[in-house]
Chains A and B, each alone.
Chain A
Amino acid sequence: MRKLSLFWLMGLFLAFIMASCAKPPTQEMDAAKAAVEACKAEGADIYAKDEFKKLSDDLQAALDQVTAKKYKEAKQALIKIKADADALKATIPAKKEQAKNEALAAQQQARTALDEAKALLEKAPKGKGTKADIEAFTADLKGLEDSFPEIQAAIDKGDYFGAKDKAVAIKDKANSISEQIKQAIEKVKMKKK
Chain B
Amino acid sequence: MELRARLILAPLILLTAIACREAPVLPEAKEAKELEQRLWEAGASIFIPEDYELFRSSLRIARIHEIQERGRFPLWRKMERSREEYRELLNRGEHLLLLIEEKKNNHRTSLISEVEKLEGFLERMRLISSVINESQTIRKRVTRAELLLVETRRLIEKDSFREAEKTIFSARQLGSSVRQIILDLFKRYLDEGYLSLWQKMAEETIAESRKRNSLAIVVDKLEKKLFVYSGGIRKAIYEVGLGRFSLADKIHAGDEATPEGKYKIIKKILNSKYYKALLLDYPNEDDRRRFAEMKKKGLIPPQVGIGGLIEIHGGGQDGLTYGCIALENEAMDELFRLVEVGTPVTIVGTFNRESPVLKLVREL
B-binding residues in A (CB < 8 A) = 53, 57, 60-61, 64-65, 67-70, 127-133, 135-136, 138-144, 146-147, 162, 165-166, 168-170, 172-173, 177
A147 to B133, CA, bound (A): 24
| Chain B window 11-45, contacts with chain A (Cβ cutoff 8 Å), 1 for yes, 0 for no | 00000000000000000000001001100100000
Q: Return the contact of B320 from the options A70, A132, A147, A169 (Cβ within 8 A).
A: A132
**Pairwise interchain contact A129-B135, C-beta atoms closer than 8 A:** no
- Closest partner residue, chain A, to B320 (CB atom): A131
**Pairwise interchain contact A173-B64, C-beta atoms closer than 8 A:** no
- Interface segment among B104-112, B145-153, B301-309: the answer is B145-153
Q: Does B316 contact A (CB under 8 A)?
A: yes
Q: Return the contact of A143 from the options B37, B141, B241, B320 (Cβ within 8 A).
A: B141
Q: Which residues of A sit under 8 angstroms from B63, Cβ to Cβ?
A: 61, 64
A70 to B65, CA, bound (A): 12
The 7 sampled A-B contact pairs (Cβ below 8 Å) are A129-B316, A141-B143, A142-B140, A143-B139, A143-B140, A143-B141, A144-B147
**Pairwise interchain contact A136-B71, C-beta atoms closer than 8 A:** no
A138 to B150, CA, bound (A): 20
Q: Which residues of B sit under 8 angstroms from A132, Cβ to Cβ?
A: 133, 135, 241, 318-320
A68 to B64, CA, bound (A): 6
- Main SS of chain A's interface residues? helix
**Pairwise interchain contact A65-B139, C-beta atoms closer than 8 A:** no
- Report the minimum CB–CB distance from B282 to chain A (whole Å): 23
**Pairwise interchain contact B154-A170, C-beta atoms closer than 8 A:** no
The 4 closest A-B pairs by CB, nearest first: A143-B143, A139-B139, A68-B67, A128-B316
A sample of 17 more A-B contacts (CB under 8 A), given A129-B319, A135-B135, is: A57-B37, A68-B64, A129-B316, A129-B318, A130-B318, A132-B318, A133-B318, A138-B136, A143-B139, A143-B140, A143-B141, A143-B143, A168-B154, A169-B147, A169-B150, A169-B154, A173-B147
Q: Which residues of B sit under 8 angstroms from A138, Cβ to Cβ?
A: 136
- Report the minimum CB–CB distance from B306 to chain A (whole Å): 26
Q: Which residues of A sit under 8 angstroms from B317, Cβ to Cβ?
A: 129
Q: Return the contact of B144 from the options A57, A143, A172 (Cβ within 8 A).
A: A143
- Report the minimum CB–CB distance from B124 to chain A (whole Å): 16
Contact residues of B between 149 and 178, Cβ < 8 Å to A: 150-151, 154-155, 163
Q: Which residues of A sit under 8 angstroms from B137, Cβ to Cβ?
A: 139
Q: Which residues of B sit under 8 angstroms from A60, Cβ to Cβ?
A: 60
- Closest partner residue, chain A, to B132 (CB atom): A132
- Report the minimum CB–CB distance from A28 to chain B (whole Å): 17
A169 to B164, CA, bound (A): 13
**Pairwise interchain contact B130-A136, C-beta atoms closer than 8 A:** yes
- Report the minimum CB–CB distance from A140 to chain B (whole Å): 5
**Pairwise interchain contact B150-A68, C-beta atoms closer than 8 A:** no
Q: Which residues of B sit under 8 angstroms from A143, Cβ to Cβ?
A: 139-144, 147
**Pairwise interchain contact A147-B147, C-beta atoms closer than 8 A:** yes
Q: Does B261 contact A (CB under 8 A)?
A: no
Q: Does B214 contact A (CB under 8 A)?
A: no
A61 to B63, CA, bound (A): 8
Q: Which residues of A sit under 8 angstroms from B241, Cβ to Cβ?
A: 132
Q: Does B355 contact A (CB under 8 A)?
A: no
Q: Which residues of B sit under 8 angstroms from A142, Cβ to Cβ?
A: 136, 140, 143
**Pairwise interchain contact A173-B154, C-beta atoms closer than 8 A:** no
Q: Return the contact of A68 from the options B71, B138, B144, B148 (Cβ within 8 A).
A: B71
- Report the minimum CB–CB distance from B30 to chain A (whole Å): 13
A133 to B318, CA, bound (A): 8
Q: Which residues of B sit under 8 angstroms from A135, Cβ to Cβ?
A: 135-136, 320
